[in-house]
Amino acid sequence: MKLCKRLLACLAAALLLLPAAACNPDQEAVLPQDPPEATTPETPVTPEVPEKPAQKPETPEPVYELAFEKADYVLALTENAGTMSAVATLKKDGAAMEGTIEYTIADAAVATCAEGVLHAASAGRTTISAACTADGKTFTATATVTVLAETTAEKVNALEDVSLFGRTYLSAKRLVLDNVCTGLEVAFCGTELSCKFSTKNGRIRYFIDGDTEGTAVVKPSGTLKIDGLADGVHVVRILKASSPIYNEIRLAADPLSTDGIFLTPPPKSDLKIEFLGDSITAGCGALGKASEKQQTIENSDPTKAYAYLTAQQLGADFSVIALEGMCVKDTATCGYEKYLTKSVNSSTAYDGPYDADVVVLALAENDMWHATSNDFPNYTVEKFAEDYKAMLARIREKNPEAFIVCIFGMMPASHTTLSQKTIEGAIADMGDSKISSLSMLCNETGANSHPNAKSHKTNAEKLAAHIRTLIP
């Protein structure tokens, strides 16, 4: 009986295992195992890192500056204008430093210096140098010294003792300012200067003692009076600051007078730059805003355009030939012909001299507009390329040794890859190593969709930097 009970128990256990074998007949039976003993994990040990020494903050190198109060000192061979203080100051991080400054004059025949005071010796130009040692370092600075001789009102009004800029000319013994930025520079010792002129609606801008901003005057005619100046030596530059489309400015007979004495003007720069361009070069819209759709005499000024600003930055003598709508050859406003005339409003031949060290050719905007527009079906890019080469050949003929800089891109029509390839291709065909090209900043946010004054300034900086690479 006990045996039967054991057999029945074994049979029941076998029946309980059958379903598992049917689900996975190949699986081996897995016997249950005791769970592993629970263990407490060990706390990881962080290795000791040696402490870094505290770093002291870096002390910037001090900035030193030794500079004269002026870049140019102008004296006269007169009793009350033959001396001038020319003290230089040494600064460290903007604060004045104590130190002995020694002064040296390059040409003692022109001027001398004692304890920082300049004394005129004879008419001419030289340099004054300052040297100072501080904190174990030596610093130097240099300024220009110009000594002017006395002259007469008769010589000044006969234009013998004034400096002329641009293609000025005489008509009925009157000095005519027609091209943009034409004008004169006069020196005197006193407190005021007057200049009599006539014009229908021309604009004048005058600059006193190296001022670069200038003061604009717009009136039909009369007397430009500059007064209230400190009694002493002054150099005044008077320029035509309007386009030829607003008529000429004509000086009167014996136009210049002063309450003091006239002086011979400072010598002009040895570097002369000539510019040939269109409305951009003429300063169209430079002082206006994009909302102003028309050019006016008030919103336009060539003395605020890139050409004059470039000459300013380089301290160069200059001549600017520019007129709205000018092309190389296409249309009657033809730069190829106007380059040979004394004024863009005249057909009279310019009798020279053609003596530029650098000629800047800024014609391409109107040309490329014509060459790529359906409004001018008879003018093509290929024709422009041939005209451009002819223009370069004419400039080279008149200026055999000059560097020629071809600029483009200041407005959309010439600010294209096609324009660049066309101009650079024409230059390559000339085979002239002294011809280069320069792409400029494009801008239309001045009046009449022309470049504004800010972009002109940027382009002047770019062009001046390029010219510095050509002229040591």
The count of other CB atoms within 10 Å of the CB of residue 345 is: 15
Cα–Cα distance for residue pair 164/59, rounded to 1 Å: 53
Which residues are within 8 A (CB) of 340 and not within 5 positions of it... i.e. 6 or more apart?
Answer: 349, 350, 394
Q: Outline where 35-91 has alpha helix (H).
A: none
Is the pLDDT reported for residue 37 higher than 60? no
Average confidence (pLDDT) over 130-140 = 92
Nearest to 130 by CA among 78, 90, 178, 167: 90
Average confidence (pLDDT) over 115-143 = 94
Is the pLDDT reported for residue 314 higher than 60? yes
Is the pLDDT reported for residue 9 higher than 70? no
Is the pLDDT reported for residue 47 higher than 70? no
Q: How far from chain centre, in Å, is Cα 304?
A: 11
Cα–Cα distance for residue pair 46/216, rounded to 1 Å: 78
What's residue 42's pLDDT? 55
Half-sphere exposure of 63 (CA within 13 A, CB side): 5
Tell me the helices (H) and strands (E) count for the chain, helix number first. 8, 26
Nearest to 73 by CA among 122, 127, 110, 123: 127
pLDDT tier, 31 (very low <50, low <70, confident <90, very high otherwise): very low
What's residue 248's pLDDT? 94
Q: What angle do CA 260, 262, 263 make, to 5 degrees?
A: 130
What pLDDT digit, counting tens, does each position of 267-278 carry?
Answer: 999 999 999 999
Question: What domains does the chain contain, in order, with CATH numbers?
Answer: 64-148 (2.60.40.1080), 153-263 (2.60.120.260), 272-470 (3.40.50.1110)
What's residue 43's pLDDT? 54
Is 295 in contact with 242 (CB distance < 8 Å)?
no
Indicate the pTM of the whole model: 0.85
Average confidence (pLDDT) over 25-30 = 36
Is the pLDDT reported for residue 39 higher than 90? no
What's residue 22's pLDDT? 35
> Could you give the percent of the chain with pLDDT greater than 90?
81
pLDDT tier, 51 (very low <50, low <70, confident <90, very high otherwise): low
Lowest-confidence segment of 52-61, 319-328, 361-370 by average pLDDT: 52-61
What pLDDT digit, counting tens, does each position of 195-251 carry?
Answer: 999 998 889 999 999 999 999 998 778 899 999 999 999 999 999 999 999 989 999
What is the DSSP code string of 149-212? -B--HHHHHTTSSSEEESS-EEETTEEEE-STT-EEEEEEEES-EEEEEE-SS-EEEEEETT-S
Cα–Cα distance for residue pair 159/184, rounded to 1 Å: 9
Average confidence (pLDDT) over 361-365 = 98
pLDDT tier, 98 (very low <50, low <70, confident <90, very high otherwise): confident
Is the pLDDT reported for residue 25 higher than 50? no
What's residue 418's pLDDT? 98
Nearest to 319 by CA among 337, 334, 297, 341: 341
Cα–Cα distance for residue pair 303/325, rounded to 1 Å: 19
End-to-end distance of the chain based on CA atoms, in angstroms? 129
Is the pLDDT reported for residue 52 higher than 80? no
Long-range contacts of 370-378 (CB under 8 A, 24+ apart): 370/327, 370/330, 370/331, 372/413, 372/418, 376/330
Nearest to 295 by CA among 276, 275, 277, 279: 279
What's residue 320's pLDDT? 98
Average confidence (pLDDT) over 332-354 = 95
What pLDDT digit, counting tens, does each position of 388-444 carry?
Answer: 999 999 999 999 999 999 999 999 999 999 999 999 999 999 999 999 999 999 999
> Could you give the percent of the chain with pLDDT greater than 70?
88
More confident residue, 99 or 29: 99
Half-sphere exposure of 295 (CA within 13 A, CB side): 22
**260 secondary structure, DSSP code:** S
Is the pLDDT reported for residue 188 higher than 60? yes
Is the pLDDT reported for residue 144 higher than 90? yes
What's residue 332's pLDDT? 85
Nearest to 416 by CA among 468, 364, 469: 364
Give the chain's radius of gyration (CA, Å): 39
**Alpha carbon distances (Å) from 467 to 276, 308, 310, 438:** 16, 14, 9, 10
What's residue 176's pLDDT? 97
Nearest to 199 by CA among 226, 176, 171, 167: 176
